[in-house]
Structure 1
Amino acid sequence: MAKVRNDVHQVDQMLPAGQMAALGLQHVLAMYAGAVAVPLIVGGAMGMSRADIGYLINADLLVSGVATLIQCLGFWRFGARLPLMQGCTFAAVTPMVFIGTKGGGLTAIYGAVIVSGALMVLLAPLWGRLLRFFPPLVTGTVITIIGLALIPVAVNWAAGGVGAPSFGAPKNLALALGVLLLVLVVQRFAPPALSRISVLVAIVLGTVVAIPLGFTDFSGLSDAAVFGVSTPFHFGLPTFDVAAIVAMVVVMLVTMTETTGDILAVGEMVGRPVDGHRLADGLRADGLSTVLGGVFNTFPYTAFGQNAGLVGLTKVYSRFVVALGGGILVLLGLFPVLGEVVARIPAPVLGGAGIVMFGTVAAIGIRMLAKVAFADNGNLMVVAVSLGVGLVPTAVPNIYEHFPTWFRTIMESGISAGCLSAVLLNLLFNHLKARRA
């Protein structure tokens, strides 16, 4: 068996091939449901045919894989070169549905996506210079919000998936609990090589148990296309509507905020602190991937929080593991039949694993906050208010439904709302006070 080199940083280590494959697949399974959710929601809201929605999903998987490879491996000034799995951002769903149904349609979405992605590339160096406004007080708060905001997603999966006829059925919750317990047992008692893939083991065994219980079946796979390539501008050449572009630029700013939190979180946990240059490189990769998304019939991209949680859970910090996961996504995008196999994993199975992963993200944020001084300053107020603001849309999802679209785009993402609050309050209680002294 190949040995792991000890003379290189753990982020740059190459693991044995078998471990790499299993760990990479684990990352794919952890993010798959979230990865396909955006094209499913947007395509469904626009009344697209099942074939066209399938095309969106395959395009999304393909570009997600390419985006992950760019972010992890990097070239020139693109890519943070950290273990970051990329996928479509949920922050873009509301404005894209509005543009697609009441604006200029799918081509207007893609025009706005291309422009906003190009603007992200241009703004990345400036954003990187703002890193001093993201001390551990802010980043710890944001990372905690990311984890807490994602937990309801895992709970919905555990209950069977939103809209499922059996949502909340005891059998769904029992299966999710079984997967959760299996993750814990493997993590605690299995040999180190196996404990690293505890989530993968739990998902595979959970799916095997779910088949005879009627949660899923793998019939009909023969009807899926074996091979398919997403071609540029499949749905028509992009159109550039000013209102659509403005909406997507707002989304881009939200996405840059979310990505900043994820990059800083992963940099912290893997022991490679992120400076302004590395942050700018990561944001450039997001921008480039978003441009590719607009060209290849998909949507804006960002780092996925659930995979950051998986990195923290497994303590496998190699970026090449996540890059291999990106390669698997490319294969899923090129071979739709493989995507159909993964898509048959029951939602409760993903929910049981998701609770652990998303909770890990929140725990990492709390660990960062443990390094912050809270005596004789306003730091406690910064954390308290930001957590409250960030969790408002999680607690009451429809609270902003009567507000303008631009406002909803920012505030309905608890991550962006909490981050904005943390940055502004940190300025108020720390930076402005320092200037008066």
Structure 2
Amino acid sequence: MNRIKSMMVLSLMLGISFTEAEASKLTFKIANPDDGAKTVLSFTETGEKKEVEIDATGNGTIEINDFTPQYVLLQYGRARRTLYLDPVQDLTISFDGGAMWKAINFDGAAAAVNTYLNTGKIKNLTFQDTKLKEDAFINKADSLFAANNEGLNAANLPAAFTDKEKIRLKYFTYGFFPMHPMYYVYQTKDSTHVASNTFYNKLQSLITIDSNLLTLPEYKEFLPNAIASMSNQGVTEKPENTTEQFVNYIDKNIKDEKVAEYLVNLFVYGNISSRGLDGSDALISMFNKHVKDAKMLDKFNTLCTKWEKLKAGTPSPVFSCPDINGKTVSLADLKGKFVYIDVWATWCGPCRGELPHLKTLEEKYADKDIYFVSLSCDKNKKAWENMVKKDEMKGIQLHLGVESPFMDAYLINGIPRFILLDRDGKIISANMTRPSDPKTAEKFNELLGL
């Protein structure tokens, strides 16, 4: 206490003033709170996350200081909302614990801005819009953006926020714009569709390369899709690995080092995560050229170390699980023949979509030196049993289950996943092509000398 008094006296003598840091107080009032739901605030500019303690009655408060005004993502359970917080403005947030996605209310100094963000009046392109013909799609996108800007101007909010929001609105509104060429073909089944120069010119006009915008989630989501789409302009034949096409476009056209780093890391890391290291030397070289961030490098190197164990020629991780009759089958039991593995589940749409093609392969190579093994990761074993019996599924049908060391070893984070092994149980491909891909049969013919 004497030391504190001495400091206060000294500060008065020297004319120094001490002021408490400005803090924003957030008060939560949640009706019908969910005991298992966490309340988390994610700051878009700093990446910082703060969890808010909510008591049994649904009330909670948190004081936050030392931050600049910015967008903050509020997550309650699975529901999400976009907020805008200011260190000099308090905010009270009220919602029903089971329906935050439906309605949310605000009081306090920051209420006007946050009410504007969450009224549901801000509209954006949707997946359904991508089935519109190109000119109608572009017109709808522009109309939505104009309406959103009118709404922002009419709200008469502080200039600093309005200037930021105009930028965010663009990427929010046009979020689905880059995907029109791909989704239009998917929705209309018109495989002859090719995006026009009008589309690409419009898309190019929407792209701003500015590392300062990487704090906006909407920009970070829009930009990779926009770059991927722009890299397709003038391409007549789809490359074997589209990621190389994307990254080469970035290397040639993106001069902002931070933006290039963000994009290259995103594309290459994603590619290695799903496809592994085989055939990825060019991508890794491009990654090393553009990515300098220590955390990104460490994460990528860790990923590569895991995939090193799954390179062609290395022994496969093993499995041992029951077949439809309860008999245990292991990988060791299958030595002597090539093994084509399908990791799938009954609830997986893309998995089921491959089954007719898999059946065709099974019939074509029925008397050849290759096993077709289907490993189900269904949690509901009964659902797997019923489907195998009802559909009279052929091949070797095994139940792997959800928590499987085999899936962990193969770094499987999405299904279906196909794996090809040689006669000795060594990996030929840890991420083999699907049955529907003609290259699969071509590879089988090559291995079998057909």
The normalised TM-score by structure 1 is 0.20
Larger relative contact order, structure 1 or 2 (CA cutoff 8 Å, min sep 6):
1
**Larger Rg over CA atoms:** 2
- Larger proportion of helix: 1
- Larger proportion of strand: 2
